[in-house]
Chains A and B, each alone.
Chain A
């Protein structure tokens, strides 16, 4: 896992500007949690996931996951679809990343591209 030379070269920004820009994006409340950033990246790669699958992967409780998903939904990054579960006696939830969520993740990744850490 070799790092690229230099700290940050993406998007034509100087390293200082890029770090400032990244910090600005990270002040977005929906991204003020490493759990939500992780969920956003996972959803970007998979487009949609079941909430039980997300919970198992992240090692979160039901309430904690719902709390994070609510914040992401309020930020317009995901949509949550509920449907009747055939396996249990409850409802199952499908979480789908939105266009805004994809854009946010893309910007985030663009800004860490080339970080030499």
Chain B
């Protein structure tokens, strides 16, 4: 790619496809930061934040750490949106309208407001609400990852996403064992470790080889 003559339209399209492949690599590496941020947020929420009866303090800690992690994901949104513009110019993929800060932040605040009110007024259901929050989080992650990788989710994304969804469902199953924190600790400890692994895996990928083609 070092000659100095005008590229033909066909060549430009091939160059744009190459750019998308490189961008996919950059996005994959960049997603290592949200994985790490959420791994830390889950760790703090499950293992560090104050337990009962400091419910209010616990929620404040949870909101603070998950808010920070949410911003890490939103940061990737801008790049994903700009990438979508290029992708839509050369590949016929269904254009999904990206959600911005104006939608995502109020949604996140609403979910936590519901969680806080439930904990205050319906304390027995508090764990269920927190699990529902993590279920919503899994859906939100799916949407975010799909924005960045509309053709194929990277393996570390699939691992992170499916582990969170499974943990949210299994936590509901563990509700009868509410008095025993060990199963929750083991389950969510595994999730924290998996998200940490996903982050390390994403951050250590090598750039695609010149011969590699864009996945369809």
User: A residues within 8 Å of B by Cβ?
Assistant: 1-4, 19, 22-23, 26-27, 31-35, 37-38, 41-42, 44-47, 56-59, 64, 108-113, 115, 117
B90 near A109: Cβ-Cβ < 8 Å? yes
Q: What's the least CB distance linking B20 to chain A, in Å?
A: 8
A–B pairs, 13, beta carbons within 8 Å: A26-B12, A31-B7, A32-B5, A33-B3, A33-B7, A34-B1, A34-B11, A37-B7, A38-B15, A45-B83, A109-B16, A111-B9, A112-B16
Q: Are A117 and B79 in contact (CB under 8 A)?
A: no
| A117-B216 Cα distance, complex, nearest whole Å | 16
Complex Cα gap A108–B214 (Å) = 20
Contact call A56/B207, Cβ cutoff below 8 A: yes
Q: How long is the Cα–Cα vector from A4 to B93 in the complex, in angstroms?
A: 11
CA distance A35 to B10 in the complex (A): 15
Number of B residues, CB within 8 Å of A: 34
Contacts of B179-216 to chain A: CB distance below 8 A: 207, 210, 214, 216
Asked if B158 CB lies within 8 Å of chain A CBs, one says: no
Type the 1/0 row for B74-110, where 1 means its CB is closer than 8 Å to any CB of A. 0000010011011011111000000000000000000
Main secondary structure of the interface of A (DSSP, over half): helix
The residue from A27, A35, A37 contacting B12, defined by CB atoms under 8 A apart: A37
B146 at the interface (CB under 8 A from A): no
Complex: A108 Cα to B22 Cα, angstroms: 19
CB distance from A32 to the nearest CB of B (A): 5
Contact B86 A32 (CB under 8 A): no
Residue contact B92 to A2, C-beta cutoff 8 Å: yes
For the complex, what is the distance from the CA of A64 to the CA of B22, rounded to whole Å? 19
For A26, list chain B residues within 8 Å (CB): 6-7, 12
Q: How far is it, in angstroms, between the C-alpha of A25 and the C-alpha of B2 when the chains are bound?
A: 19
Query: Which residues on the B side are within 8 Å of A42 (C-beta)?
Result: 19, 22-23
- The reply to whether B79 and A45 form a contact with Cβ atoms under 8 Å apart is yes
- Contact residues of B between 44 and 102, Cβ < 8 Å to A: 79, 82-83, 85-86, 88-92
* Cα–Cα distance between A2 and B1 once the two chains are bound (Å): 26
Q: Are A110 and B83 in contact (CB under 8 A)?
A: no
Instruction: Please indicate the chain B residues that have their CB under 8 angstroms from the CB of A59 in the complex.
Output: 210
Given A22-B9, A33-B2, A112-B13, A38 and B18 contact (CB-CB distance below 8 Å): yes
Hey, which chain A residues are within 8 Å of B91, CB to CB?
1
Complex Cα distance, B4 from A27, in Å, reads 11
The answer to whether B26 touches A41, judged by C-beta atoms less than 8 angstroms apart, is no
- Choose from A4, A56, A112 the contact partner of B92 (Cβ within 8 Å): A4
